[in-house]
Amino acid sequence: QVQLVESGGGVVQPGGSLRLSCAASGFTFVISTMHWVRQPPGKGLEWVAFISSDERNYNYADSVKGRFSISRDSSKTTLYLEMNSLTIEDTAVYYCARDRGDGSFDSWGQGTQVTFSS
Amino acid sequence: SYVLTQPPSVSVAPGKTATMTCVGTNIGSGSVHWYQQKPGQAPVQVIYSSSDRPSGIPERFSGSNSGNTAALTINRVEAGDEADYYCQVWDRVIDHWLFGGGTKLTVL
């Protein structure tokens, strides 16, 4: 059974940093393309970043390019998202998702919340 | 930039058919995927490759895609189908993924 468990969210100040993790199990992580998708409170889904199975290909949404960095550790079957220079617009639930292989997301984690302190 | 447009809301009586659209320029030339999201929960894929159902998704859910419009149809709607529904495409040329704004399905 595919399982994706995110962690690392929390309360940050503008300009701060966070590192999100997504522990994967129940499938062959090493051959799977993975993504981060976020959802601001009360709003829709926004794709954030992807990384290919061999780590050679990756890309980011324009809204986070230059500030966020996606990576993976196949030995730990874990996906990461390093987030820097955070702004209030980055407030969201962050989900990791597995790519089915056709550009769709067939499995999702339960999400981790990123919020800002006033 | 490419835009996917979904109606904000659709209402339907139990037992009837709900159709939710996703409009994008020439969207029919590629694949569209659909997700259901209930309050406080993660999204669940209900249709992939425009018309295929993942394992465990009822046959009441179907998809179509032609021209500038893709559609998700739910037959014999049940109260448990009340949720937000999102369409999604992959622009493989620039490796960007895009969601529509979502449609809130209300079961009357």
Please say if the pLDDT value at position B18 is more than 80.
Answer: yes
Name which of A104, A110, A111 is nearest B45 (Cβ-Cβ).
Answer: A104
Percentage above 90 pLDDT, chain B: 95
| Residue A117 pLDDT | 85
Average pLDDT for A22-44: 98
CA A9 from chain center: how many Å? 11
Local confidence band at A45 (pLDDT 50, 70, 90 cut-offs): very high
The amino acid sitting at A96 is C
**CB-based contact A22:A16 (threshold 8 Å):** no
- Residue length, chain B? 108
Does the distance separating the beta carbons of A103 and B31 come in below 8 Å? Answer: yes
Residues B48-55: what's their mean pLDDT?
A: 98
Instruction: Check if the beta carbon of residue A106 is closer than 8 Å to that of residue A1.
Output: no
pLDDT tens sequence across B59-102: 999 999 999 999 999 999 999 999 999 999 999 888 999 999 99
Residue B100 near residue B20 (C-beta atoms within 8 A): no
Cα distance between residue A10 and residue A25, in whole Å = 23
Question: How many other CB atoms are found less than 10 A from the CB of residue A67?
Answer: 15
Residues 14-73 of A with CB under 8 A from B: 35, 44-47, 50, 57, 59, 61
Q: Are A64 and A85 in contact (CB under 8 A)?
A: no
Q: Is the pLDDT of residue A118 over 90?
A: no
* Residue in chain B lying closest to A105 (CA): B45
Q: Is the pLDDT of residue B52 over 80?
A: yes
Q: Given CA atoms B24, B44, B51, B96 in this order, what sign does their dihedral have?
A: positive
Report whether pLDDT(A103) > 80.
yes
**Closest CA of chain A from B103, distance in Å:** 10
**Are residues A35 and A97 in contact, defined by beta-carbon separation less than 8 angstroms?**
yes
Residue A53 confidence (pLDDT) = 97
Neighbouring C-beta atoms of residue B87, cutoff 10 Å? 30
Instruction: Report helix, strand or coil for B28.
Output: helix
How confident is residue B26, by pLDDT bands cut at 50, 70 and 90? very high
Tell me, what's the pLDDT at B1? Answer: 85
- Please state, in angstroms and rounded to a whole number, the distance separating the CA atoms of residues A13 and A7: 18
Residue of B nearest to A109 (CA): B42
Look at residue A42 in the predicted model and tell me its pLDDT. Answer: 97
Judged by a CB distance cut-off of 8 A, whether residue B66 touches chain A is: no
- Burial degree of A82 (CB within 10 A; 0-12, 13-18, 19+): middle
Task: Specify whether the CB–CB gap between B48 and B70 falls below 8 A.
Answer: no
Measured between beta carbons, the chain A residues lying within 8 angstroms of B93 are none
Residue B7, φ and ψ in degrees, nearest 5: -65, 140
Q: What percent of chain A has pLDDT over 70?
A: 99
DSSP code at position B107:
E
What is the structure's pLDDT at B50?
98
CB contact under 8 A, A102 and B42: no
